Structure 1
């Protein structure tokens, strides 16, 4: 009768190959144990001191690894956001409106429509949020140096509530807002989504406009 080969060592090896940090922790633990046993053969009290020092060292090492992992994740998100904005900057204004509409659909909005064009009275995308609120968005596909100004916000503010019956109103841009525009938006309860907020929304690392209070 043939006895199946024990494949557990191979599984363990593959596990640690897939999780190198765990392998390093295990190696560190084994090293500490061996040194502690060697010290204990000479001085039982010494091993207690050694284990305390070793525990501190292990804690410091693991904390540094966590910090490095957080730093890598932050860098990954920054790069992802930069790619999102770079993509939007290559679009035409109409394509940008379609892209914003896509984000609304992706995040659960219903009845999403692109209505921008001649005679749109400031509305480019309208939708119903997952919570059932009417959302009206104006899209500004501007270059990074061309900020959205107060006149843009005032025109939108004059129609988003009374004409388009918005319950949530937002201006989404690939640029940023002037200080006066941002102040006006606050007074009119209009959400200003600049390039950083847009990049967060698009990459999934930030909230959608209707989730901001």
Structure 2
């Protein structure tokens, strides 16, 4: 899968080139939206009123007009500082929330499905990365949450009505903790699980996210930790909870 792209809102998007460091100071540009145009007109009217008042004041001061120079310089400096901080706040990078649906999920390839799951984990505040490839040792996405818990996720994209079997649970159990250091081991599918796979996962601490729970995660925007019912590290329980609970 190309590394210069990522999956978002049902489409593959090319990653933007690293932005160059912005030069210090104000940079003027024409308004691009109606809101910016209205704001620019309001600011222009406001500045015009101030300029007219200053001209009247200067006419009354005569030779003492130079006293306004420090005031004008200080005012311009204050405006520049405020504008710079506001600009920095607007340019803060943010993680876009992947707006998906089960219909989008079903249309994905297995690799795209793995990337979509990674994006959902990032949405939930998990520092997730995609590791799925040949020889991935039963892990497609790894990520740590703010509490320091390691989530190991195996993704199984299938046709509608397809079910994940017990052998997948065996593989995840065999590598999740000893190889990847898992605190939370998860198998996610857009299909379902066989009865044996679900029962085995519950007994051995493998969380099962089937089609119904995946829908809750995507469309209800429930966090992964909340979906799985895992608590904080102090009261953490590793055991899986099936979709029937």
CA contact (8 A) 2:118 2:141 kept: yes
Contact in 2 for aligned 1:108/1:129 (Cα 8 Å): yes
Residues 1:188 and 1:100: Cα distance change in structure 2 (over 3 Å) = same
Identify, as 1 or 2, the structure richer in helix.
1
Q: Deviations over 1:64-123 (max 9, x none)?
A: xxxxxxxxxxxxxxxxxxx7111101000010000000000001112x110011110100
Give the Cα–Cα distance (whole angstroms) in 2 for the partners of residues 118 and 168 of structure 1: 22
Preserved contact between residue 170 and residue 209 of structure 1 (Cα < 8 Å): no
1:116 corresponds, among 128, 132, 141, to 132
Aligned 8 A contact 1:114 1:126 in 2: yes
Shift of 1:162: 1.1
TM-score (norm 1): 0.58
Aligned length: 130
Conserved in 1, the CA contact under 8 Å of 2:138 and 2:176? Answer: yes
TM-score normalised to the size of structure 2? 0.51
Q: Deviations over 1:170-198 (max 9, x none)?
A: 00000000010001101111110001101
Output the aligned Cα RMSD: 1.5
- Contact 2:172–2:185 at 8 Å: present in 1 too? no
Structure 1 equivalent of residue 171 of structure 2: 155
Cα distance in structure 2, aligned partners of 1:137 and 1:123: 6
Aligned structure 1 segments of 4 or more residues deviating by more than 3 angstroms: none
Q: 1:205 deviation in Å? A: 4.8
DSSP-derived class of the 1:158 partner: helix
Q: Secondary structure at the match of 2:101?
A: helix
Q: Show the counterpart of 1:23.
A: none
Q: Unpaired segments of 5 or more residues in structure 2?
A: 1-99, 231-245
Q: 1:89 corresponds to which residue?
A: 106
